[in-house]
Chain A
Amino acid sequence: MHKDLNRGTNDAHSDSYEKFEDQIAANPDNYRNIDIRIEYDGPPASAGSVNRLSDVNPSDRVPTQLEAKWVDENGVGRSRNFNNINP
């Protein structure tokens, strides 16, 4: 995960996934039916020949986007996208 998505320092970074996790932990009733999809830029180069995740090239294991969906306390469906592409 890109370091920007992993910051939780106060309110300096509302755009971090870490902060999102903190928000859910602090107000679990406001985040129900959580559904998260992690996207990659296609299958790994070695897809046809590997049997274990650890054999996959590390750079092929980096997601491009994380998308989280949930239902808030008012029954409204919400979603948030986190861009993990470098830079």
Chain B
Amino acid sequence: MRQLDPDELLERVEREFRVWLDETGADSAHIEVNGIGRVQDNVAWLMRDGVKEWSRIPWELGSPQGDLRTAQALPDRGAWTWCRLWMAAADGVLRQECDWMREPVFTQASGDIRPGPGDCWNELKRYPRDDEFIPDWLRTGYEAELKRQERNARRCENYRRKREQEHGD
């Protein structure tokens, strides 16, 4: 059974952050995550003498870190859509900052990717939220997808009825 206990995951993430810092000799390591539905986009960097260096997340860290969003989902506010994880080599303590309301944006040169209606639908299906915790961007996307599904259901029903009539059932 896949281990999704948030405390154990965090311990594992913390251990792997320490390994990452040991292996690179950096002063601090940072990961910034944007997530929606089933996907998360991560950017990572190290700081060395005040200089920022883009970095790859080591595989052993990426695996538990990738499960954090699901493991840390709460019954009333769902899963965070943005999070920053960081650790300073000086104290070896993992720190985390999360935002449940921020619209997750995957920034890239070819054009930022924003959540589509299907993503918003998936997000609320997988990680339901109480009404007060649904920001406008999420509500709008969800309602657009709901309308689309209702339209499709009506279309299917009309088609089915028409076929019945044609076949004289």
Contact = CB atoms under 8 A, between A and B. Distances in A.
Contacts of B72: none
Contacts of A13: 37, 116, 118-119, 122
A14 B119 contact: yes
Contacts, number: 108
Contacts of B38: 2, 4-5, 15-16, 82-84
A40 to B, nearest CB: 10
Interface string B1-16: 1100000000000000
A12 B63 contact: no
Interface in A1-41: 2, 4-5, 7, 9-17, 20, 23, 26-27, 30, 37, 39, 41
B108 interface: yes
Contacts of B25: none
The binding surface of chain B is classed by DSSP as mixed
Contact of A12 (B1, B43, B44, B116): B116
Interface stretch (B51-59, B92-100, B128-136, B161-169): B51-59
A37 B165 CA distance: 52
B143 interface: no
Contacts of B42: 78-81
B43 A14 contact: no
A11 B42 CA distance: 20
Interface of B: 1-2, 36-44, 54-57, 59, 62-63, 66-67, 70, 106, 108-110, 113-119, 122, 125-126, 145, 148
